[in-house]
Amino acid sequence: MTLYDADGADADLAADDIDVAALSERQLLWVDVDVGDEDPIAADAAALLRELARKLGLGPDGEQLLRELNGSSRLQNFGDWFLVQVIAVEHSGGLKFRGRRLAIVCGENVVLSLHHGPVEFIEQLRDRERADTRIGSLTAEGFTASLLDWMVESYLHAVSDFEAAVDRLELTILARNVSHQSLPELARLRRGASRLRRMLAPHRAVFGALARPDFRPDDTGLTDKQFRALEQRFERAMDAVENTRDLVVGTFELFTTRTAQRTNDTMRALTFVTVLLGSLAMVAGALGMNFKASLFDTGNHGFWTAIGGMAAVVVVAISVARWRRWL
């Protein structure tokens, strides 16, 4: 739990030290709770949520709402505070994208983030802020928008990892020998693209509702501007995720093109060999015709001369084929 004070020093607080009524407009309390990966949550985590719901003034239904952190995205407004639930994405490698459930409660000068297990971008945010900050000058809505922007950025990072995997596969496909192992990799890319879209697409309703003028209106219009900018950021992330499917289709087309090219190269080589062998067979057939000629009276010398001539034809033909890049 961190108390950000724009006019003083930031400080870490214990749950017993929380006093929402004492917070000023230049102070912001951020309570970040990791309830663990257990489902349902452990007894000690449930007790902490009960205490936080009481301390933050979330009302009789607050504890139950905090304990209902599931895998769906939602937005609920309770007047003095609101709850937004989203799914952040984490990439553990191998095109395996994992969703991390995250709930954010935004009240007056208070933001509560609740998640099952560590959230990568929250750790990055904490690591970034090494000294006293100006975060206390933010409103609770502004800090919530910042956290949601970090969540959206997690999908952009996942897309970057996805694009890197596509680039590596395309380099493999463009190699001289096309491997059929590319097909399983293409299948993994397709599954990864579908998973990213299934994880992000349901948030459209949440971010759309946040950006509407009737949600958290204020006299300055600052909150509305922040949430509208957040929606635009979400739409850019959504476009990037949608583009991953096009990347997979383009990679598959590249694979089929390279496969067709390899087939054409093989057929061209077979055609050249067939024509060459046919030419040699024609020469051998001509030498085997049943008529008298001085050539047939030369004995071994004539035989090896004929073999040498055909070998020369083969060498010349192969040289011309390589020069013309037929082989």
Q: Give pLDDT, residue 176.
A: 64
Place of tokens 């209106």: 217
pLDDT at residue number 239: 92
Residue 99's DSSP bridge partners are 89
pLDDT value for 302: 67
pLDDT value for 235? 92
Determine contact, residues 234/203, Cβ cutoff 8 Å.
yes
Q: What integer pLDDT is reported at residue 39 of this predicted model?
A: 65
Structure tokens at 312: 């020369």
Q: Could you tell me the pTM of the whole model?
A: 0.77
CB distance 215 to 267 below 8 Å: no
Per-residue pLDDT of the chain (327 residues; tens, 9 = 90+): 787 777 777 777 776 777 777 777 777 888 888 877 766 666 777 777 777 777 777 776 776 777 776 667 888 888 778 888 888 888 877 778 888 888 888 888 888 888 888 888 888 887 777 666 777 778 888 888 889 999 999 899 888 988 888 888 888 888 766 667 778 888 888 888 888 898 888 888 888 888 888 777 776 778 888 888 989 999 999 999 899 889 888 888 888 888 787 777 778 777 777 877 777 777 776 666 666 666 666 667 667 777 777 777 777 777 777 776 766
Which secondary-structure segment (H or E) carries 228? helix 222-287
CATH topology for 2-258 is Beta Polymerase; domain 2 (3.30.460)
Question: What is the predicted pLDDT for the residue at 326?
Answer: 64
CA distance from start to end of the chain: 70
Provide the sign of the torsion angle of the four alpha carbons 14, 20, 24, 25, taken in this order: positive
**CB neighbourhood size of 217 (10 A):** 10
User: Could you tell me which of 169, 147, 145 has the C-alpha nearest to residue 244?
Assistant: 169
